[in-house]
Amino acid sequence: MSARRILYLTGTRADFGLMQSTLQRIQSTPGLAVQVAVTGTHLSAEHGGTLAEVKASGLPVLAEIPVDVLTRTGASMALAIADVLRGLVPLLERSRPDALLLLGDRGEMLAGALAALHVGVPSVHLHGGERSGTVDEPVRHAISKLAGYHFVATEGARERLLKMGEAAERIFVTGAPGLDGLQAHAAATREDTLASLGLPAGSPFVLALFHPVVQQASEAAQQTRIVMQALRELGLPVLWLDPNADAGSRAILDALADADLPPGSQRVQHLPRARFLAAMRHCAVMAGNSSSGIIEAASFGTPVVNIGARQFMREHGPNVIDVAVDAASILQALRAQAGHGPWPWDNPWGDGRAGERIAQMLARLPLDRAVLEKTNSY
C-alpha cells in the first residue's frame, strides 16, 4: 500500500518554524510522506531568503510559488492570495496529494484552502478557532469553514469551531505544534546566546517583534515610534527582529531607520529558530505583538508585554501583560515585567506533543472525497 502524501504550504519563516518538527514527525511515520510547497517571504532576500532553511530541513520541496512581498500594501496582500491560488491549483491537480496541511491565518493559507476545496483535495487546518482581532481573525475563520479537518491548540478553540457550525467529529485538540521540542531548541546558555546575538555580555535585554496591523497600516510608523520611545526610556539593550511583509511593514522599517534604539542594541532581519527561541528564553522581557509571545513564550515563563490590537483577545497565561500603543503604558509594563523575572506557568497552548498526535491522525483519518462534503452542524 502506497504512503499517504501530505503537502504542507508554507509562506513565512514563522509558520515553517512552528511546523518543522511536526513535518519531520509526519515524514518519519510509517505510511506517511510529506512534501512542501514554498511561497511568500521564503523567496525574498529582503526577508532573509529562508527557502534555504526549508531545504536544509531535509523535507522535499515540491514547488516554489513566487508572489509580491515587497509592495507591502493591503492591495498587494490581496493580489498575493490570487497569485498563490493561481500557482497552487495546477500543482494540486498535477501532484494530487492525499491532504493539504495549512496553519494559521495568513492569506496564502486561505488561497490553499480555496484551491484544495475546488480541486478536490481534503485540507487540514491547524490553529483554527482562535480569537485575535484584526484581519487575521476573519481570515482564520474563513479557512476553517473551507477545511475538512481541524487540529486545534486549545479546548476554547474547539468550542468556538463548534459554535461556528463545524462538526464535532472533525475537530481534534492537538496542542500547538510550535511547542514541540522548545526546550531542546533553546538549549544554548545565556552567555553563548548574548555572544551569538552581538549583545553586551551579562546584560539583561529586550526581545522586540512589532508587526503592522493591516487595518491600522497608516498608523504603523507612529506606533513604531511610540514603542521605540518606551524602549529608549527603559534603557536596556534591544534585540529587534524586523517585521513581516504585511501592509504597514515598510512604514515600520522607515521608522526604525529614522530613530535609534538604546546603546548595545541589535536589529536583525531574521534569526534561525534555535537562536530566536534562545533569545526568547534568556531575554528579560519580550515586547511587541507576535503570536510567539502569546504561545511559545509561556513555555519558558518569559515575561511578555503584548502591545496593541494584533493579538487582541487571544488566550494567554499570566506571563503576558496587554497594553495599548501608549508610551507611558508600555514603559510601565516593561518595567514591571523586567523586574518580575520568569513566571512559573504550565503553557495553556499544549504539552509539546502535538506532532505525534497530528501524525497519528493523518495516518488514520479518512481522506476520501466525503471529507469535502460539508454542511453546517445546525
Q: DSSP of 212-258, one letter per residue?
A: PPGGGGGGHHHHHHHHHHHHHHH---EEEE---SSTTHHHHHHHHHH
Cα separation, 53 vs 36, in Å, equals: 12
Q: Is the pLDDT of residue 84 over 80?
A: yes
Question: For a pLDDT cut of 90, what percent of the chain falls above it?
Answer: 94
* Residue carrying the nine cell digits 546603546: 263
Q: What are phi and psi of 3, to 5 degrees?
A: -70, 145
Q: What's 286's DSSP letter?
A: E
Domains of the chain: 4-180+352-372 (3.40.50.2000), 182-340 (3.40.50.2000)
Q: What's 10's DSSP letter?
A: E
Cα separation, 314 vs 245, in Å, equals: 22
Residues 6+ apart with CB under 8 A from 364: none
Report pLDDT for 346.
80
pLDDT (average), residues 322-350 = 95
Q: Is the pLDDT of residue 1 over 90?
A: no
DSSP secondary structure string for all residues of 83-106: HHHHHHHHHHHHH--SEEEEETT-
Q: What are phi and psi of 82, to 5 degrees?
A: -65, -40
Residues 6+ apart with CB under 8 A from 47: 13, 41, 69, 242, 244, 245, 269, 270
pLDDT (average), residues 202-227 = 96
Cα separation, 327 vs 339, in Å, equals: 18
Report pLDDT for 252.
96
| Chain segment 98-115, per-residue pLDDT in tens | 999 999 999 999 999 999
Q: Is the pLDDT of residue 35 over 90?
A: yes
Report pLDDT for 357.
98
pLDDT (average), residues 26-30 = 97
Cα separation, 80 vs 71, in Å, equals: 10
Q: What are phi and psi of 307, to 5 degrees?
A: -110, 125
Q: What's 62's DSSP letter?
A: E
In a 10 Å sphere around its CB, with 0-12 CB exposed, 13-18 middle and 19+ buried, how is residue 353 labelled? middle
Cα separation, 186 vs 55, in Å, equals: 21
Cell of 156: 476554547
Residues 6+ apart with CB under 8 A from 268: 197, 239, 240, 241, 242
DSSP run (H or E) holding 76: helix 74-95
First to last CA, the chain: 38
For the chain, what is the mean pLDDT? 96
Model-wide pTM > 0.75: yes
Report pLDDT for 345.
79
Q: Is the pLDDT of residue 177 over 70?
A: yes
- Contacts by 270-274, CB closer than 8 A, 24 or more apart: 270/13, 270/47, 270/48, 270/50, 270/241, 270/242, 271/241, 272/53, 273/13, 273/17, 273/20, 273/185, 274/185, 274/186, 274/188
* Residue of 294, 350, 291, 299 lying closest to 321 (CA atoms): 294
pLDDT (average), residues 39-60 = 94
- The confidence band for 313, taking pLDDT boundaries of 50, 70 and 90, is confident
Cell of 283: 531575554
Report pLDDT for 201.
96
| Chain segment 241-299, per-residue pLDDT in tens | 999 999 999 999 999 999 899 999 999 999 999 999 999 999 999 999 999 999 999 99
